[in-house]
Amino acid sequence: MFTSCKSESKQIEINSEQTKLPNIILLVGDDQGYPYFGFMGADYVQTPHMDKLAASGTLFTEGYVPQNHCRPSLQTLMTGTLPINYEQDVEKLIKEKQIPEDSIVGFKHHAMRHFNTLPRLLAKKGYKSFQGGKWWEFNYQNGGFDAGMTKGWRKGDKKNDDWFLQFMGGDGRQLARATMQPVYDFVETNKNDPFFIWFAPELPHYPFDAPDKYYNIYKDKDMTESAKRYYANCTWFDDGVGELVRYLKEQGEIDNTLFVYVNDNGWEQEPHQEFRHDSLRWHNGGDKGKLSVYDQSFRTPIIFSWKDKIEAGAKSKALMHSADIPATILDYLDIDIPEGYFGKSYKSLIEDTSKSDRAIIIGQATQMRSEDDMMGMKIEAYWARTNNWFFQWNLTLESIALYDMNNDSRNDTNLAETYPEKVKAFQGRIEAWKAEHK
């Protein structure tokens, strides 16, 4: 009896701790350009639910992802590491496990099962986790999720016309575009546990086929057809967020939920730009967005919202890396940030938005768009952002550019020849970064 009472007391203590832990929703925009939100100043794009979310918490307007396309950026959110370090760790695993050369590609699809991912770390605190939306890592189990929408594929699927869509997430791509039910079923099943949801719909990503209820918002506006189609997809994503919030309110889960938002990479689609006649840009947006080495390819707003725990209506211009998101989540839960994390907690900056941390963010670009290949060309390029400057250094094309972010956020005027000493300083910082991450 004594043992039984002691065991019951311990269980009550664990359950009591779990009731205090927040649910966590990680919202990931897919090909969402940072300017195209109402809360970022674009009154021509209707994003009422995201505007409300930004107003309910703390907004970092100068967030950055590590790459100019999705998969490496998503891996960073899962592991808190940079793409270059993730790839190095995978290569170490290949050597340690003596993976045969003809099996290496297949192993890389499953490599994340060997990483201490965010869901695995959260599980130590009793969290249940769900994957929905974009997911390149074969199936949800490889990320450490308890449930999910992406189930994997068969080898023969490579022969099918939609094989690339299967690689991108398979059934997970239906989230928000076609259904929200898998998320609702997961929440219903896990009400007694704190839960983590990876909410990454393939929106506003191509295809730009938003239902009429969204397209008609823009149908008669003075903007190009490609702008109308892209912004309609932005509103479609926004409505998915609104549906999730509505459901959580109905279930009584909203007050103790930490929402975090980030893009996977940037996009360019100004109201006057027309891309429908140009297949490359219709699929990838303008030349300063996705698969480019301009600021707009890497920049993202980052939002943290938690009722009565995080200040509403706060804004920060502090530079923030998307790798800092998992580190910050772990800090809020008093979970030790693993050794080898590039990301660091921004909890103190959320509590005091007058603070700053990173003086510079440096990244690598391994792909850029090509007129000859829709998937892009391989390159070696680097970029850096400080409070005042954006620097790009493309070793493959032997080009250098420097932009004044205070007066030229769209990177229209290259000032590299005007400030050679700044160029030299940025190159020195990048060389040191490369040496550090060898």
Structural element, H or E, at residue 93: helix 83-96
The arithmetic mean of pLDDT across residues 56-73, rounded, is 98
Report cis status (omega within 30 of 0) of the bond before 338. Answer: no
Query: Would you call the peptide bond into 100 cis, given omega within 30 degrees of 0 as the criterion?
Result: no
Of 12-26, 28-42, 79-93, which gets the smallest average pLDDT?
12-26
Give tens-digit pLDDT for 334-369. 999 999 899 999 999 999 999 999 999 999 999 999
pLDDT class of 12 with cuts at 50, 70, 90:
very low
Q: Which amino acid is at 49?
A: H
DSSP codes joined into one string, 189-220: HTTTS-EEEEEE-S-BSSP----HHHHHHHTT
C-alpha dist (Å) from residue 93 to 86, 96, 99, 113, 143: 11, 5, 8, 11, 16
Helices (H), 37-69: 48-55
Dihedral pair phi/psi, residue 55, rounded to 5°: -70, -20
The kind and range of the H/E element at 23 are: strand 23-29
Determine the Cα–Cα distance for residues 93 and 108; give it in Å rounded to an integer. Answer: 10
* Residue ranges per structural domain of the chain: 22-356, 357-438
Tokens 């000493």 sit on residue: 421
Mean pLDDT of 200-223: 98
Query: How far separated are the first and last CA of the chain, in Å rounded?
Result: 59
Please tell me what DSSP assigns to residue 277.
T
Q: Beta-carbon neighbour count of residue 19 at 10 Å?
A: 11
Mean pLDDT of the chain: 94
Which pLDDT value is given to residue 152? 94
Alpha-carbon distance 50 to 261, whole Å?
A: 9
Query: Length of the chain in residues, anyone?
Result: 438
Local confidence band at 19 (pLDDT 50, 70, 90 cut-offs): low
Per-residue pLDDT at 158: 75
| pLDDT of 17 over the 80 cut | no
Q: How far is CA 197 from CA 126, 205, 260, 325, in A?
A: 14, 20, 10, 14
Q: Tell me the per-residue pLDDT of 68-122, one tens digit each, with 9 for 90 and over.
A: 999 999 999 999 999 999 999 999 999 999 999 999 999 999 999 999 999 999 9
Residue 180 · residue 151 · CB < 8 Å: no
How many other C-beta atoms can be found within 10 angstroms of the C-beta atom of residue 347?
Answer: 16
Secondary structure of residue 413 in the 3-state scheme:
coil
Structural contact between residues 77 and 69, judged by C-beta atoms closer than 8 angstroms: no
Residue 403 belongs to what H/E stretch? strand 399-404
> Rounded distance, CA 395 to CA 339, Å?
32
CATH number corresponding to 22-356: 3.40.720.10
For residue 1, is pLDDT > 50? Answer: no
Query: Whole-prediction pTM value?
Result: 0.94
Residues 254-277 pLDDT 10s:
999 999 999 999 999 999 999 999
- Please say whether the beta carbons of 204 and 215 come within 8 A: no
pLDDT of residue 312 exceeding 80: yes
Quote the percentage of the chain above a pLDDT of 90: 90
> Which stretches does DSSP call E strand in 163-312?
195-200, 257-263, 299-305
**pLDDT surpassing 70 at residue 6:** no
Write down the pLDDT at residue 14.
46
At 373-399, the pLDDT tens digits run 888 899 999 999 999 999 999 999 999
pLDDT band for 45, please (50, 70, 90 cuts).
Answer: very high
Residues 6+ away with beta carbon under 8 Å from 157: 163, 166
Q: Which of 68, 52, 44 is nearest to 231 (CA)?
A: 44
CATH of 357-438, one of 3.40.50.970, 3.30.460.80, 3.30.465.10, 3.30.1120.10: 3.30.1120.10
pLDDT(13) > 90 = no
pLDDT at 53 over 50: yes
pLDDT of amino acid 374: 82
